[in-house]
Chain A
Amino acid sequence: MYGRRASQLVKEFSAGEKGQLSAYNSDMFDQVIRECNAHHLELQNLMRKIQDEGLDIQTTRNADHFGAVIHHLSLVRNKRCLMAYVYNRAELIQNLRWKAGPVLPPEIQEKLSYSEEEYFRNHSAALEAYMSELELDLTVDMVPPKDPYIQVRVLDDIGEVLLSDQSANLARHSMHFLKRSDAEQFISQGLMEELMG
C-alpha cells in the first residue's frame, strides 16, 4: 500500500515515550525517499503517456490522469510524514538544549543523525550568543525557586570549585548547602542530586 512505510515511521515516533528521543531511523527514512522517487518516475511516465497520445495535459481526465493523481497524492503524503518526523524530532532536540545543557550525553548523542547534531550545535550557539548579549543564563531556574539555597549531595568527585559566593570542595558523597543557581548546572550533568525533605 502506498504511504505505508512513511506512516510506520511516524507511528514509531509516536510510540516512543513522550518527550524522549528514539534513535533516528535513517534506514526507514531512505526507504521512504526511494518510494518517493518511484512515485515520481511513475508520475512522469503517465504524464508522458498522456502527452504522447496528443491530449491536453491540463484538461484530460482519463485513467492515466487519475493514476497520476494517485501517485502525486502519495508523494505529498510521504512528504508530510517525513516532514513531520523531522520537525517533531527537531522540537525535542531544541528542548534537550534547555534540559541537558550544551553538551549531550553520549547515549543521547548516538540517537541523532548527523544533521540533527549540527542543528543542536547551531541552536545551542544561537542561544549562547543571545544569553551572552543579555549577560544572563536563561537555562537555570526554569521553575521559580522557593529558596535560593538548596541542599545537595555530590555523586561524583568534582574537586575544588569556585562558586559564586564561596569555594567548596565537592568530594563524592559530601553534602553541601549551595546557591541553587550554582548547583543547577551540576545537577543537570548528573554530578549532584538535590536532597528533598
Chain B
Amino acid sequence: MANYYDIDDIIMEDELIWVVFQKAANGVGLLDPGAESNTVEQGAKVELPFWLAQELHLRQVVTINVPQCFNQKTRKEIQADAACVDLKNRCSYFYELGCKTAPLVGDRTIGSFLLYAFKSRYKDVLSKAHTAAFTVAPKFLSILTKEETMYESAQSSMATFKKWRMGGPRLQRAAVLGKKRKSTD
C-alpha cells in the first residue's frame, strides 16, 4: 500500500468510477441520486469515488465498470497518436488509476495499454522537453497528467547539460584557494 499520508495517493483515490451494486445497502441513499428511499437498491448503477468502490468490491458488494478513460475511444486515439491525446482532461491520474483498477475489473488488456501509452508518450515528452522553446510549453503541458514532473526534470537536465558544455573550465577552483592569506598581525 502506498504511504498513508501521501497527498497524491489520496487525491487519486477520489476519482469517480461507475459501479453496480450487487447487494442493497440501507442508510446510504445519498450515494444514489435516483434512490427514492434512503436505500441503494440491488442492481443500482452509481458513481462512487475509487476509495469506496475498491473496498466495497473486496466485500463483493459492487462490481466495478471499466472507467471511462480506458474505453475503446481513448484506446483508438492513443493508438493513433499517443502524445497528442489530452489525458489530463480525461483523468489526471490516468496511470495510477489504471494500475489500481486493472486487478479489480479483471480486464487484462489495461496493463499493456498503459504501458504502450506511457512508452510512446515518454519518448515524445522527452524530445519536446529538450527542444521546445519555453513559449510553446504551456500548451503542451496542459495535456499531460503527472507526466509534468517528467517534463520538468527532462528540461532541467537539459539546462544543466548545456551549462556544463558551454561553461568555463572543467574543474573549478574553490574560491578559498585563490586568495592570498591575510597576515594576522
Contacts and interface: CB of A to CB of B under 8 A. Distances in A.
A67 B31 CA distance: 11
Nearest to A8: B14
B159 interface: no
Interface stretch (B53-61, B71-79, B111-119): B53-61
Contact of A73 (B23, B24, B51, B175): B51
A84 B14 CA distance: 14
Given A2-B30, A69-B59, A74 B52 contact: yes
B10 A80 contact: yes
A147 interface: yes
A46 B10 CA distance: 28
Contact of A66 (B6, B25, B174): B25
B126 to A, nearest CB: 23
A7 interface: yes
A11 interface: yes
Contact of A3 (B7, B26, B49, B174): B49
A66 B25 CA distance: 5
A88 interface: yes
Nearest to A90: B5
B176 A148 contact: yes
Interface in A9-53: 10-11, 13-14, 42, 45-46, 49
